[in-house]
Structure 1
């Protein structure tokens, strides 16, 4: 068990930022993954909290951009590559129509965030609006996780 823990610690130290970027990217697609545990582990390992936040935000944002792009291509492409549940897609469309652009601040919420990015693409929302709102939402989420981790680790 100790050898396994040492190997994991070494792996984090050697590839921590790369692992975080890839996991954050994948977590913002339709895959049921989360990156918060790795953020906490890296901060406890002594990684720079601001760098951790920026790497996680960048990976998660770019993953969302991928989902947005597939949304731009239309429902057939979404159904082929991501298979979103139709009821979630319809619910997100109604939510997006009701609350508009600010809905994108909640793309970090598990279960609905990925669908919101799809809907933004389907509705042909200009990328400049999409990118600002999604980046701010993702950054806020990761900043809160990192801040709370650093606060409670001292």
Structure 2
């Protein structure tokens, strides 16, 4: 498989995993790195960028579709969203550094949209956390396999 194909698959995996859809982009990153066919720096950059962009989709949903939060089809249940909003209000925008967290990260990014966090602040904090997570996963993978 070519670098382009691996990185494209990693991009979409990371993008979709950051939205409210389930996904395990870390496993795709680990697989790409253990195959040894992709540059680790490129893989971390692609995964981090895609995952951050997926979170921007969540922010936009929170920002522009908040009127629909009580609907059955809304992707995050109201109690989870309320919990994220409370955490966000208590600890501030710095909670966005935890947007990578599998249990509540999506709700945090939606809450940031509801609470109208500026998109630049949102993107910088979310991106920092997500890039750091992928860098740790890559470093751990390469350390264990080499």
Cα contact 1:25–1:62 (8 A) shared by 2:
yes
Using the size of structure 1 for normalisation, the TM-score is 0.88
What residue in structure 2 maps to residue 56 of structure 1? Answer: 47
Specify the alignment match of 1:37 in structure 2: 27
Distance 1:95 1:55 in 2: 29
Q: Mind listing any 5+ residue stretches in structure 2 that lack a counterpart? A: none
- Structure 2 length as normaliser, TM-score? 0.92
Distance 1:56 1:14, change over 3 A: closer
Match of 2:14 among 24, 45, 54: 24
> How many residue pairs end up in the alignment?
144
Q: Structure 1, unaligned stretches of length 5 or more?
A: 1-9
- Quote how far apart the aligned CAs of 1:77 are: 4.2
The C-alpha deviation readout for 1:68-90, integer Å capped at 9, x for no partner, is 01111142345476431111001
Bigger radius of gyration among the two = 1
SS in 2 for 1:83: coil
- CA-based RMSD of the aligned residues comes to 1.6
